[in-house]
A and B are shown apart, each in its own frame.
Chain A
């Protein structure tokens, strides 16, 4: 039993949540009706916590492409590309992504998590330095740990703080990889990339930007925060995922460095993971075409995001620092967060419940993610559910 002893505090936390009628990990979607609707726990639910930014998971072109590929090439590759070889779809997808970003090369990984693990652990080794924004995603922290390089954090989105740390490194800044995200997953705020690029140039460091939440969301062509900031050519590595705007699963790294291709031989997470299945590659390629040809989806996404952010702000909720497709509602206590999350579920709205230590500053969050697939009525229903909680809470207090 000894190896399980360390999980006892988790068991206690889970039991306490279960006693309150909450088991957020085990909400079962019995029937997925559309990108924005499901039947969960026997009731109709508006999905407002999916990261399905462009709403492409039910797009007929993507579904047809996935079905055709599965019929033509089978359900899986059953091994890594190093061992089993590449399918033509893998190579085509990499070429199409490289063209999309205007970069020399792209490597496709099996998940976004593996993309960060594979790139960070391989690009840097003991003796190198990783300078990471404190709000970076767990996959970045894990990739950094696997690298053996020195990991130094700077305060979230604080350019002065980053510069202070670069200055302290002295000559080591030439062996330093700065790691930031385009849009941060918890609060939905974006990185000040123009300033960060300026610093990385002045100190001779490298820059990796994780655009997981900004692909298809920011930039004239949907290429992300670096495109929006006008610095895409100055970013050394762009990492991202297919599991959000592109509605599938998988990850990538794009770069102009010719050495990128060497990662295929050196990156253990790449070498030792089975490659993406034909259906995934096919639906991702179809979704990328849609992302490029349908800027109206991005416009609709932002209309929905602005509407939700503005309405919740008017209702008096404390939100993340700027409007974005991630609308984070900040709450003072765990009890308040749990009660509101349950209240929303009761009213047919599913959002993400995020508790410390997964939150940036030890607070509690109800994290909404908006989709281009949401109708105006659905956004209004989400707002009404939040509004009704306010009166419900007041009623409870009076009672």
Chain B
């Protein structure tokens, strides 16, 4: 079972190409407001994250994902279900 910090670190690595220069990613970083991601980009990232963790991530989680921390919590739940 991966802990929250590990999951966040892995997620941040996936998000790296979308991070504006000088921005330090935190659990509170807002995907839309801080990273300027539109809905299509967020869905593309979900596909990348699925492949990284080799799990299915339904788009249905997205209304509950505003920040990196929210995303990590959803990931933790999904990984627990798959285990």
Contacts and interface: CB of A to CB of B under 8 A. Distances in A.
B56 A152 contact: yes
Contacts, number: 41
B21 interface: no
A154 B47 contact: yes
A290 interface: no
A169 interface: yes
B41 A168 contact: no
A151 B60 contact: yes
A150 interface: yes
A164 interface: yes
B54 A168 contact: yes
B17 to A, nearest CB: 12
A164 B59 CA distance: 17
A153 B47 contact: yes
B39 A150 contact: no
Contacts of B46: 153
A152 B43 contact: no
A160 to B, nearest CB: 11
A357 B38 contact: yes
A168 B55 contact: yes
A362 B40 contact: yes
B60 A150 contact: yes
B44 interface: yes
A356 interface: yes
Contacts of A81: none
Interface size class of B (residues with CB under 8 A): 10 to 19
B58 A134 contact: no
A362 B56 contact: no
Contacts of A153: 43, 46-47, 59
Contacts of B47: 134, 153-155
Interface in A261-281: none
B57 interface: yes
B51 interface: yes
Interface in B50-82: 50-51, 54-60
Nearest to B59: A151
B58 A362 contact: no
B58 A151 contact: yes
Contacts of A330: none
A134 B56 contact: no
Contact of B39 (A154, A164, A357): A357
A154 B41 CA distance: 14
B44 A165 contact: no
Contacts of A154: 47
Nearest to B54: A168
A169 B57 CA distance: 11
A165 B40 contact: no
Interface in A46-65: none
Interface in A330-367: 356-357, 359-360, 362
A209 B76 CA distance: 34
A151 B40 CA distance: 14
Contact of A134 (B38, B43, B60): B43
B51 A164 contact: yes
A53 B51 CA distance: 39
Contacts of A357: 38-41
A353 to B, nearest CB: 17
13 contacts: A134-B43, A134-B44, A150-B56, A151-B59, A153-B43, A153-B47, A154-B47, A155-B47, A164-B51, A168-B55, A169-B56, A362-B40, A362-B41
Interface of B: 38-41, 43-44, 46-47, 50-51, 54-60
Interface of A: 129, 134, 150-155, 164-165, 168-169, 356-357, 359-360, 362
Which 7 pairs from chain A and chain B are nearest by CB?
A: A150-B58, A357-B38, A151-B59, A357-B40, A168-B56, A152-B56, A151-B58
Given A129-B58, A152-B56, A152-B59, 12 more contacts: A129-B56, A134-B43, A150-B56, A151-B59, A151-B60, A152-B50, A168-B50, A168-B56, A169-B56, A357-B39, A357-B41, A359-B40
